[in-house]
Amino acid sequence: MTLIRRLYCILCLVSGVALLAASSPAQEADSVLIDTAGVEVTPAPAPPVNVGARDTPSDEGYSITVFWELSADDRPGEDFVTGYRILRAETPEGPFREVGFSSVGATSYTDASTEKKTDYYYRVETQADGASSSSPVIGPVQSTAQWFNFNLLNLLIIEGIICLAILYFIYSAKSGKKLFLRKIAGLEAVDEAIGRATEMGRPILFIPGIQDMDDVQTIAGITILGRIAKTIAQYDCRLHVPVSRSIVMTTARETVKEAYLSAGRPDAYSDDFVNYVTDEQFGYVAAVDGIMVREKPATCFYLGAFFAESLIMAETGHSIKAIQIAGTAMPAQLPFFVAACDYTLIGEELFAASAYLSNEPRQLGSLKGQDVGKVIAMVFILLPVIVLTLGAIFGWEFATRAGEFVRDWFRLIQM
Amino acid sequence: MNNRVLAYIVVAVGIAVFAILAATQGFAVTMGAFFTIGIFSFLYKDNPYYKFSEAVFVGISAGYWFVSLFWQNMVSKLYMGIQAAYNTTFVEHAGWDDRWMMLLGGLLGLFMLLRLFPKIGWLSRWSLAVIVGATAGLYFINYFVSNGIIQLGAIIAPLQSFTEAGKLDWWGTISQALLVAGTLSGVVYFYFSKEHTGAFGGVAKIGIWTLMLTFGASFGYTVMSRMSLLIGRMDYLVGTWLGLIR
Amino acid sequence: MKRQVPLAITAVVGIVYIFQYFVPHEPVSKFSDWFSDWFAIIQAFAIWLGALNLMKLSAIKVARRKRDWIYSLVTIISFAIIVIVGLFFSGGTDFQVRGTRFMYIYDNVYDPLSSTMFAILAFFVASASYRAFRARNKEATMLLLAAFFVMLGRVPVGDMISAFMPEGLRFSNVADWVMNIPNMAGQRAIMIGIALGIMSTSLRIILGIERTFVGGD
Amino acid sequence: MNFWVRLMTIDRRIIFLFVVIAVTIPLFLNISQEIVVSTEVQTGFDAFSALQPGARVLVACDYDPPSSPELQPMAVATFRYCLDHDLKFIIIGLWPQGPQQANAAFETVLGYPISDTITYNGKTLIYGRDWVNLGFQAGNELVIQRMGSSIPAAFPRDYRGTPLEDLPLMQGVQNFNNIDFVMNISAGYPGVYEWVQFGVDRFGVRLVGGTTAVQAPLIYPYYGSGQLLGVLGGLKGAAEFEGLVGVSGKATQFMLSQSFAHVIVILFIIVGNVAYFVGGRKQKKT
C-alpha cells in the first residue's frame, strides 16, 4: 500500500470513529479496537456518507428506502470494499439487526419488511474484508401508504387515451354517424348456420367455453349467446347449452330467457335449454361428446375460453358433419379450431363478435375505438424502433435516448 | 337374438378377464384400467361401455367438485373465516377483521341460491352483476399490462444486432426486422374499420400468414404434448397395470 | 328496478376494480383479494344449483324410462357415492390428504378417467392432421410448414436426420427460429388485439351498453 | 373408386391404430438417443444453478394427474436438483392436486414415502426446516397477488394445518422479496401466464416456467421479453432438464416413443396431402 493510501485510510478511520462516537457505544468499542490494533490489520473502509431514509413512495406502506453516497473507498476497479450492510432498530440505541445487504456501487436499498406507524432507525455499514465502518444512525422514519401509485401513471395515461378513443366513437356513433366495418366471415355465417339447423330439424349446440364467469372470454361468449339465441328464437329451432360451471348456467339462462323475451317468444323458452354437467374439464367433454354423437346437432358454436378439449369437440363435431363456428382468445387452441371448424373467430374477433352481431351503433362505435388503439400501438412500435435503429447506425445519442425513454415507459409497470 | 347372445358373451368374457386381472394385478389399478379402456372404446364408436364410463365420470367429477367446494370454500373460507373474524372482534376485542368481508360473499352466494324460488330469483342478478363488474374491471387492467404494454416494450429495440466479433449480424438483423414487420402486419389484420383491399389488404395478408405460422408452431407443440399424454397412458396400461415393461 | 339495479352495480363495481389497481392504500389494495374470496364463496353456493340441475335431469330420465335411462341412474349413484364419502367419511377439511377414502376414489376412478379423456387427444390430433392439414392454399401451407419444422425440431430424431446440414439449418435450430420470430410476432399481434378487445368489452359492460347477461338490450 | 380417393376418405380408426402401435412399441425398445439442450432450457437451468446453498426456492405445482406424464418429470428433476444442492424448497399449488403431485415427485426422488425427517445421500432433512408444503390455495392469480403483499396472509397454514410461524423455513418470509427463485410447473390456468402477470410484472420474482408443450408457444413471448428466465416445454423440455440435472427419468425414457409419434403424424400429413393432390385431380376428371 502506498503511503498516501495508508494515510488516507487512517484519516477515514479517525473520521469514522468521530462519527461513531456520536452513534452507538457498541460500535465505538469495536472501532476503538481497530484503532488500537492500528494499521497492521485491514484498515476499516470509509463509511457511506449522507445516509438518509424515507418512506418508499407509491406503495402499500410496508417498506422504507435507505439511500447513501458511496464510501470514499468504494471506487470502480478496486475490490477493497465488498458492499453495504443495512441495519435497523426501533430505538436509536439499538439493538440493530441486519435487514439487507447491497453490493458494491449500490447507493440505496429498499427494506420491505417494515410495519406501518412504527419509528425505525437505520445505519449503513461499509463492508471490507475483515473490517467495517458504520454511518451515524439516522431516523426516526415511518413507512406509510399512498393513495396513488405514481409508478403506474404512464399506464393510466395510455389506458386513458385508448378509453377516450373508444368512448368518443361510441358517442359519435350514437349521434348517428355512419361507421364502416369489414365483414367477419365467421359472423356472416351465423344466420346461415342457424337456418340450416332449422331446415334439418336438428338442435343447435352452444359451448360457452369451460371457464367460469370470472373470465372475460366466458362473458364474451355469453353475450354472443344472447345475440344468437334471439335469432334461434325467431327461427324457432332447438337450442342446447351444456355448461361446466354453475354460475355460467345461471347467467346463460338469464341471457337466453331475455333473448327469447326480446324476440317475442317467451313461451318457447325453457330452463332445460341450459344445463349443468360437471366442473371437471374432461368429464364435461366426455358428456358433450356423448351429446354430439347422440343428438347429432346440425350446428355447433364454441365461443369462449377453451383448453385441450377444443380439438376433441371440433373433431367429434366434424365426424357428425355439423357446421362448426368457433372463437377463442386462447392462442394454443386456435390452430385446431382453424383446422377443424368451418369458421373461427381469432382472438380479438371473439370480443368484437357481440358488438358486431348486435348491429347497434354504440357497440359498433366501440370497435372503431379499438382500431384507434391499434393505430396507437403501431405508432408506438414503429417510431421508437426507427429512431433507435437510426440512433444506432449514426450514433445519435439523443435518438437512442429518446427511443429508450419510450421503451422504458412501457417497461416501467410494476407495483 | 344372435346379437343379444353375442353381447352377453362379450360382457361375460370381459367381466371374467377383468376379474382375473383384478386378482393378479390388484383391484385398484384394474379398476383404473377398466375405465381407461372404457373411454378409449369411444374411438371405435359410441357404445355401452363408453356410455357407462362417461356416466360414472360425470357423476364422480360433479361430486368431486361439489365436495371440494364445500370443504374448501364453504367451510374453510366462509365458516372458519367468519369464526376467526368473530374471535378477533368480540373475543380478543382487537377491532375490525378483514375476514368479516366474507359475509358479503356469503350474502351474494345466498342470492344465487334464491333462484330456486322464482319469486325472488331476480336477486341472483345482483350477484352476477358484482361478478361481471369486478371481472371486467380486473381484466381491463391486468391483461392489458401483461399482454399489451409489456409486449410493446419488448418489441422496441434497434433492428441491427451484432455478433460477438462486433460485426453486423445480418441474419439477426433480418430476423428482428421480420419480428417487427410480422407483429405490425398481424395487428393490421385485426383492423376492423377498413376493407382488406389494395396495399392495406396486402399487409393484412402478410398478417394472416404470420398468424398461420404461429398456429403451425402451436400445433407442432401440441402434437408433442398430446402424444406425451398418450405415452403416459400406455405406460400405465402396459407398465403399471400389466407390468410388461421390465 | 330489476334491470337498473344490476346495471348500476356492474358499473360501480367495475369502475372501483379498475381504480384499485392504481391505489396502493388500504382498504382499496385489498379489494381484489376480497373479490377472490367472494367468488370462491359464490361458487360454493352456486354448485348446489348445478348439482341439483344435474340430478333433476338424470332423475327425470330414469323416472320416464327415457332412452339410456340406465346410464343416468349410474350418474346419480356415482355422484351420491363420492358426495357421501367425501362429506362424511373422509376426515372433514383434510379430505384431500392421502389415504382418505375420497382420495382412493380420486386416484382409481377420477384420475384414470380424466387422464384417458385427455390422452384421447393424441388420436384426434393424428386424425386432424391427416384430414385437415392440407396445403389447400398459401395460408394452410404456411401452417403446415411451421408445424412440420417445430414437430421435427422438438424431438431428437429431427436432429439425427438433419445432422448432415450446416449447424444453422438443423431442424432444432430452425424450430427455435420459428418459435422466436414468426411465432412470437404472431403471438404478440394476437395479444395486442385481445388486450384491446378486452378493454372495449369491459368498457361496454361497465357503461351498460353490453347488458345481455343481466337481460336484454 | 380410385386408390388415392379411398386413401383420402380413409376410416380414421385405421389412423388411430397406427398411433397406438407407434407409441406402444418403443416403450419396449431401449435405444438411447442424444438430446440437444435448447437455449430456453439452458438459461433456465443457469438461473437455477446460480442459487447458493440454503437459498429459498418456491416450487409452484399448478397441474393435476392428467398432465403429469409431461410435468411430473420436471417436478422430479427440480426436487432432485434442490436436494443435491442443499436448496430449501417451499411447495405450493394453485391447483388442488398440485401439492400432492409435488409430494409424489418428491417421493420418486427419495424412493420411499416422505416422513418428517428424511435422509438423502447421507444428508438428514427435516420438514419445516429444509422443505415445507403449503398445500393448495383457492383463488387463482389473486393468490399470487396476495403473496406479493404477504405470503403468510395467502398461506396461513401448511398442508397439514401447521401455522406458518411454527415452520423455521418460513421465518422472516414476508413476501416475494424473501424468495430467491420461483419454479412454476403448470398445465394451464392458473399457471405460468398468471405467474408472469402477477408474480413477475408486479413483484419482480425470478421465474422459470415448466409447462405442457401446448402452453410453451404462448409463453415464448415472455421469455423473449425477459419476463421469464427459462422455459421447459413439454416432455422434450423435461428430458433436456433431466439431462442437465443429471437424472435419467421418465421423460428421457419416453423420448423414443415421442420421436416415433411425431414421425407418424408427419407421415399422416404427407400422405394426406399426396392423396389430396393426386386424388383430388382424379376426382375432378371422373
Kindly state whether residues B176 and B91 are assigned to the same domain. Answer: no
Alpha-carbon distances, residue D215 vs C101, D48, D176 (angstroms): 34, 21, 25
For residues A226 and C212, give the distance between their C-alpha atoms in angstroms, rounded to a whole number: 6
Angle between the N-to-C axes of helices C31-63 and C69-88, in degrees from 0 to 180, rounded to the nearest 10: 140
Question: What confidence score (pLDDT) does residue B246 get?
Answer: 60
User: Closest to B224 (Cβ–Cβ): which among C138, C151, C194?
Assistant: C151
pLDDT tens per residue across span B141-182: 888 887 778 778 888 888 887 776 777 888 888 999 999 999
Does the distance separating the beta carbons of B145 and D96 come in below 8 Å? no
Count the domains in chain A. Answer: 2
Does the distance separating the beta carbons of A389 and B159 come in below 8 Å? yes
Q: What percent of chain C has pLDDT over 70?
A: 97
Please check whether residue B136 lies inside any domain of the structure. Answer: no
Confidence of residue D240 (pLDDT cuts 50, 70, 90): very high
User: Closest to A113 (Cβ–Cβ): which among D174, D215, D217?
Assistant: D174
Beta-strand relationship, A81-89 and A120-128:
antiparallel
Kindly state whether residues A201 and A335 are assigned to the same domain. Answer: yes
Reading the block at residue D210, the C-alpha cell is 415448466
Question: What confidence score (pLDDT) does residue A34 get?
Answer: 41
Please check whether residue A411 lies inside any domain of the structure. Answer: no
Question: What confidence score (pLDDT) does residue C8 get?
Answer: 92
Which range, A174-183, B1-10, B235-244, D237-246, is most confident?
D237-246
Please check whether residue B139 lies inside any domain of the structure. Answer: no
User: Closest to C203 (Cβ–Cβ): which among A163, A318, A329?
Assistant: A163
Reading the block at residue C114, the C-alpha cell is 380424466
What is the distance in angstroms between the Cα of D125 and the nearest Cα belonging to chain B? 30
Question: What confidence score (pLDDT) does residue A36 get?
Answer: 44
Q: Which residues pair with D230 in a beta bridge?
A: D208
Mean pLDDT value across chain A: 84
Residue A373 with chain C: CB contacts under 8 Å: 196, 199-200
In which domain, by residue range, is A261 found?
190-341
What is the distance in angstroms between the Cα of C194 and the nearest Cα belonging to chain A? 5
Q: Which residue has the higher pLDDT, B162 or A208?
A: A208
Question: What confidence score (pLDDT) does residue C129 get?
Answer: 82
Mean pLDDT value across chain C: 87
- Which residues 159-188 of chain D have a CB within 8 Å of chain C? 159-161
Please check whether residue A122 lies inside any domain of the structure. Answer: yes
**Residues B30-49, mean pLDDT to the nearest whole number:** 92
Question: Which residue does chain D place closest to B73, by CA atoms?
Answer: D138
For residues B124 and A8, give the distance between their C-alpha atoms in angstroms, rounded to a whole number: 77
pLDDT tens per residue across span A213-259: 989 999 999 999 999 999 999 998 999 999 999 999 999 999 999 89
Kindly state whether residues A199 and A292 are assigned to the same domain. Answer: yes
pLDDT tens per residue across span A59-112: 888 888 999 998 888 887 777 887 888 889 999 887 888 777 777 777 888 887
What is the distance in angstroms between the Cα of D262 and the nearest Cα belonging to chain B? 7
Confidence of residue A19 (pLDDT cuts 50, 70, 90): very low
Question: What confidence score (pLDDT) does residue C214 get?
Answer: 65
Residue D39 with chain C: CB contacts under 8 Å: 176
For residues C156 and D33, give the distance between their C-alpha atoms in angstroms, rounded to a whole number: 7
What is the distance in angstroms between the Cα of D28 and the nearest Cα belonging to chain C? 18
- Which residues 82-141 of chain B have a CB within 8 Å of chain C? 98, 101-102, 104-106, 108-110, 112-113, 115-116, 122, 125-134, 136-141
Q: What percent of chain A has pLDDT over 70?
A: 89
Please check whether residue A391 lies inside any domain of the structure. Answer: no
pLDDT tens per residue across span A110-143: 887 788 888 999 999 998 877 888 899 988 999 8
For residues D196 and D138, give the distance between their C-alpha atoms in angstroms, rounded to a whole number: 18
For residues D136 and D116, give the distance between their C-alpha atoms in angstroms, rounded to a whole number: 19
Using DSSP, state whether A103 is helix, strand or coil.
Answer: strand
**CATH code of residue A130:** 2.60.40.10
Kindly state whether residues A132 and A256 are assigned to the same domain. Answer: no
Question: What confidence score (pLDDT) does residue D87 get?
Answer: 92
Query: Testing the interface with D: which of B74, B80, B146 to mutate, by most D Cβ within 10 A?
Result: B146
Confidence of residue B110 (pLDDT cuts 50, 70, 90): very high
Residue A189 has pLDDT above 60, yes or no: yes
What is the distance in angstroms between the Cα of B118 and the nearest Cα belonging to chain D? 31
Kindly state whether residues A209 and A332 are assigned to the same domain. Answer: yes
Confidence of residue D1 (pLDDT cuts 50, 70, 90): low
Question: What confidence score (pLDDT) does residue A16 get?
Answer: 47
Kindly state whether residues B91 and B167 are assigned to the same domain. Answer: no
**CATH code of residue A263:** 3.40.50
**Residues A314-331, mean pLDDT to the nearest whole number:** 92
Residue B82 has pLDDT above 90, yes or no: yes
Angle at A215 between CA B114 and CA D183, to 5 degrees: 125
**Residues A160-183, mean pLDDT to the nearest whole number:** 86
Question: What confidence score (pLDDT) does residue A6 get?
Answer: 53
| Cβ atoms of C138 and D27 closer than 8 Å | no
Query: The whole model's pTM is what?
Result: 0.84
Domain endpoint, select from B61, B96, B131: B96
Dihedral in degrees, nearest 10, Cα atoms A368, A370, A373, A378 = -90
Q: Does any CB of chain C come closer than 8 Å to the CB of residue D263?
A: yes
Residue A292 with chain C: CB contacts under 8 Å: none
Domain endpoint, select from A141, A160, A175: A141
Does the distance separating the beta carbons of C194 and A348 come in below 8 Å? yes
pLDDT tens per residue across span A255-287: 999 899 989 999 999 999 999 999 989 999 999
Confidence of residue A5 (pLDDT cuts 50, 70, 90): low
| DSSP 8-state assignment for residue B193 | S
Question: What confidence score (pLDDT) does residue A196 get?
Answer: 93
User: Closest to C200 (Cβ–Cβ): which among A166, A257, A262?
Assistant: A166
For residues B219 and B235, give the distance between their C-alpha atoms in angstroms, rounded to a whole number: 24
Q: Which residue has the higher pLDDT, D286 or B141?
A: B141
Reading the block at residue D36, the C-alpha cell is 440437444
Does the distance separating the beta carbons of D67 and B235 come in below 8 Å? no
Residue A7 has pLDDT above 70, yes or no: no
Please check whether residue B151 lies inside any domain of the structure. Answer: no
**Residues C1-25, mean pLDDT to the nearest whole number:** 88
Domain endpoint, select from A292, A311, A341: A341
Please check whether residue B111 lies inside any domain of the structure. Answer: no
Q: What percent of chain D has pLDDT over 90?
A: 28
Count the domains in chain B. Answer: 2
Please check whether residue B122 lies inside any domain of the structure. Answer: no
Kindly state whether residues A213 and A337 are assigned to the same domain. Answer: yes
Please check whether residue A169 lies inside any domain of the structure. Answer: no
Mean pLDDT value across chain D: 85
Question: What confidence score (pLDDT) does residue D220 get?
Answer: 76
Kindly state whether residues A194 and A286 are assigned to the same domain. Answer: yes
Q: What percent of chain B has pLDDT over 90?
A: 47
Using DSSP, state whether D59 is helix, strand or coil.
Answer: strand
Residue A62 with chain D: CB contacts under 8 Å: 149, 174
Q: Does any CB of chain C come closer than 8 Å to the CB of residue D23?
A: yes
Question: What confidence score (pLDDT) does residue D148 get?
Answer: 77
Residue C181 with chain B: CB contacts under 8 Å: 175, 178-179, 182
Does the distance separating the beta carbons of A415 and D66 come in below 8 Å? no
| Cβ atoms of D182 and D144 closer than 8 Å | no
Kindly state whether residues A227 and A314 are assigned to the same domain. Answer: yes
User: Closest to B133 (Cβ–Cβ): which among C11, C86, C149?
Assistant: C11
Please check whether residue A371 lies inside any domain of the structure. Answer: no
Question: Which residue does chain A place closest to C118, by CA atoms?
Answer: A282
Kindly state whether residues A137 and A194 are assigned to the same domain. Answer: no
Please check whether residue A217 lies inside any domain of the structure. Answer: yes
Please check whether residue A167 lies inside any domain of the structure. Answer: no
Confidence of residue A22 (pLDDT cuts 50, 70, 90): very low
Mean pLDDT value across chain B: 89
Residue B245 with chain D: CB contacts under 8 Å: 27-28
Of B121, B104, B102, B101, nearest to B113 by C-alpha is: B121
Question: What confidence score (pLDDT) does residue A18 get?
Answer: 44
Residue B83 with chain C: CB contacts under 8 Å: none
Kindly state whether residues A234 and A315 are assigned to the same domain. Answer: yes
Kindly state whether residues A121 and A214 are assigned to the same domain. Answer: no
Q: Does any CB of chain C come closer than 8 Å to the CB of residue D276?
A: yes
Alpha-carbon distances, residue B218 vs A313, C145, C149, D72, D233 (angstroms): 18, 12, 11, 22, 12
Domain endpoint, select from B75, B96, B117: B96
| Cβ atoms of A307 and A334 closer than 8 Å | no
Q: What percent of chain A has pLDDT over 90?
A: 43
pLDDT tens per residue across span C42-89: 999 999 999 999 999 999 999 999 888 999 999 999 999 999 999 998
**Residues D135-151, mean pLDDT to the nearest whole number:** 80
Q: Does any CB of chain D come closer than 8 Å to the CB of residue B131?
A: no
Question: What confidence score (pLDDT) does residue D286 get?
Answer: 39
Kindly state whether residues B8 and B81 are assigned to the same domain. Answer: yes
**Residues A49-68, mean pLDDT to the nearest whole number:** 87
In which domain, by residue range, is B188 found?
159-241
Domain endpoint, select from A295, A310, A341: A341
Does the distance separating the beta carbons of C74 and B56 come in below 8 Å? yes
Query: Testing the interface with C: which of D269, D270, D278 to mutate, by most C Cβ within 10 A?
Result: D269
Domain endpoint, select from B76, B96, B116: B96
Residue A414 has pLDDT above 70, yes or no: no
Q: Does any CB of chain C come closer than 8 Å to the CB of residue A315?
A: yes
**Residues C148-164, mean pLDDT to the nearest whole number:** 79
Q: Where is average pLDDT lowest: A28-32, A360-364, C12-16, C78-82?
A: A28-32
User: Closest to C46 (Cβ–Cβ): which among A152, A250, A318?
Assistant: A250
Does the distance separating the beta carbons of B127 and C17 come in below 8 Å? no
Does the distance separating the beta carbons of D201 and A413 come in below 8 Å? yes
* Residue D190 preceded by cis peptide, ω within 30: yes
